[in-house]
Amino acid sequence: MISPLKKKLINNEISVIIADTVNSQLTRLNDILSHVNTGQFPFDMGYMAILTLYNIASHKAFQETTYTPLTYCTPENHSTCTK
CB atoms within 10 A of CB 59: 7
Q: Which domain holds residue 19?
A: 3-73
Number of domains in the chain: 1
| pLDDT tens digits for range 54-68 | 999 999 999 999 998
The predicted model gives 17-42 an average pLDDT of 92
Question: Is 64 contained in some domain?
Answer: yes
pTM for the full model?
0.71
Which DSSP helix (H) or strand (E) runs through 47?
Answer: helix 42-57
Question: Is 45 contained in some domain?
Answer: yes
pLDDT of residue 1: 86
